[in-house]
Amino acid sequence: AHRRLILAIETSCDETSVAIVENGTKILSNVVSSQIETHRRFGGVVPEVASRKHVESITWIIEEALDKADVRPGQLSAIAVTEGPGLIGALLVGVVAAKTLAYALDLPLIGVHHIAGHIYANQLVHELRYPLVSLVVSGGHTELVYVEKEGSFRIIGQTRDDAAGEAYDKVARALKLPYPGGPHIDRLAHEAEEALPLPRAWLEPESYDFSFSGLKSAVLAALNQAGMKGLPIDARAVAKGFQDSVVEVLVEKSLRAVQEYGAKQLLLAGGVAANKGLRQQLADRCASAGVPLIAPPLSLCTDNAAMIAAAAHLKLERGQLSSLELKADPALDL
């Protein structure tokens, strides 16, 4: 069969990643250079620092991805890149690198939406069946996406304030846990015996939107109050109370969307997909509803270029190519 090799680049946030994927499903290499150590002392991603780090690493990461895949540039079929959304300075580095490669190698260029990438990460591990619903939860995103057929996306719900992962990181910071705090809260929540009672943000009854800033404020208020009264703070109970609230709302809204839209599968994507509580509850509820839950391994849930290559492969098949005029767009629509 014809071997279609896509080199994809992802630089929308704080991971510099380059992957080579064969025929949309076979990962030959997927190099991810994380800047977490650099940003940790600031307690979050600093956009200007992220851009500079991408510039420093992009060239050698492209070389490493080719080396690991044992592929020569002349064997490539197309160049793909995340065109948005994300941090503008970070996106620019990937887009300029991709345009340069496409021009120099005379290859088609394919711009990919970052969320489409997260969704199609699932295509690297499972066959997809439409219509489907995908829950994308990361440090930058919280979206419920209805995918009626391949390449047709509709955001049916999204966060009105903080992303789920962002809320995790902020609550972790208040508990003096290291950045990124999601995994630490997850662990503490599982060790907890009781949960601090906290509110759930259901919003309007019909709404698939999310809101996490009120919950975060409730946690901060509880911590402040305990501090003022000189009471000890049970970080485990706080972590469990917070996690229970986030997970319950994510799970209820996802399952309601699956029912209303007659989805044949529920896809999980984004870094918060690593959350044990979320995975467990979604798995239980999907099992009772008779809907397959699909979640890629963690390395494909967090930002990586293989997912961009997977989404790009579908666009290449459909002939949806970009021109060399492609622009990075920090607020790109899905």
Annotated binding site for substrate: 136-140, 169, 182, 186, 275
Q: Whose Cβ is closer to Zn ion: residue 30's or residue 138's? A: 138
Candidate list 211, 275, 281, 322; residue touching ligand KG4; CB under 6 A: 275
Interface with ligand KG4, residue 296, by CB under 6 A: no
Q: What is the DSSP string of 99-149?
A: HHHHHHHT--EEEEEHHHHHHHGGGGTS---SSEEEEEESSS-EEEEEEEE
What amino acid is encoded at 160 in this protein?
A: R
Interface with ligand KG4, residue 332, by CB under 6 A: no
The region of 202-210, 227-235, 265-273, 325-333 touching ligand KG4 under the rule CB under 6 A is: 265-273
Interface with ligand KG4, residue 304, by CB under 6 A: no
Interface with ligand KG4, residue 44, by CB under 6 A: no
- Sign of the alpha-carbon dihedral angle for 110, 114, 118, 119: negative
Interface with ligand KG4, residue 270, by CB under 6 A: yes
d(CA 322, CA 108): 8
User: Do residues 316 and 21 make contact, with C-beta atoms less than 8 angstroms apart?
Assistant: no
Binding at 274: pick from Zn ion, ligand KG4, none (beta carbon under 5-8 Å per type): ligand KG4
Q: Whose Cβ is closer to ligand KG4: residue 89's or residue 270's? A: 270
What contacts 63, CB < 8 A, 6 or more positions away? none
**Preceding omega of 108 cis (within 30 degrees of 0):** no
Q: What angle do CA 218, 220, 221 make, to 5 degrees?
A: 65
The least CB distance from residue 217 to ligand KG4, in Å, is: 18
d(CA 21, CA 27): 5
Binding at 242: pick from Zn ion, ligand KG4, none (beta carbon under 5-8 Å per type): none
The region of 1-9, 62-70, 177-185, 249-257 touching ligand KG4 under the rule CB under 6 A is: 177-185
Binding-site residue ranges: 114, 118, 136-140, 169, 182, 186, 275, 303
Interface with ligand KG4, residue 138, by CB under 6 A: yes
Helical (H) or strand (E) element with 307: helix 305-317
Tokens of 219: 């946690």
Candidate list 84, 89, 117, 165; residue touching ligand KG4; CB under 6 A: 165
Binding at 85: pick from ligand KG4, Zn ion, none (beta carbon under 5-8 Å per type): none
The least CB distance from residue 68 to Zn ion, in Å, is: 22
Binding-site residue ranges for Fe cation: 114, 118, 303
What amino acid is encoded at 114 in this protein?
A: H
Interface with Zn ion, residue 10, by CB under 5 A: no
Interface with ligand KG4, residue 123, by CB under 6 A: no
With b meaning 16 or more CB within 10 Å and e meaning fewer, what string describes 8-21? bbbbbbbbbbbbbb
Chain residues in the site for ligand KG4 (CB under 6 A): 13, 138-140, 165, 168-169, 180-183, 186, 270-272, 274-275, 302-303
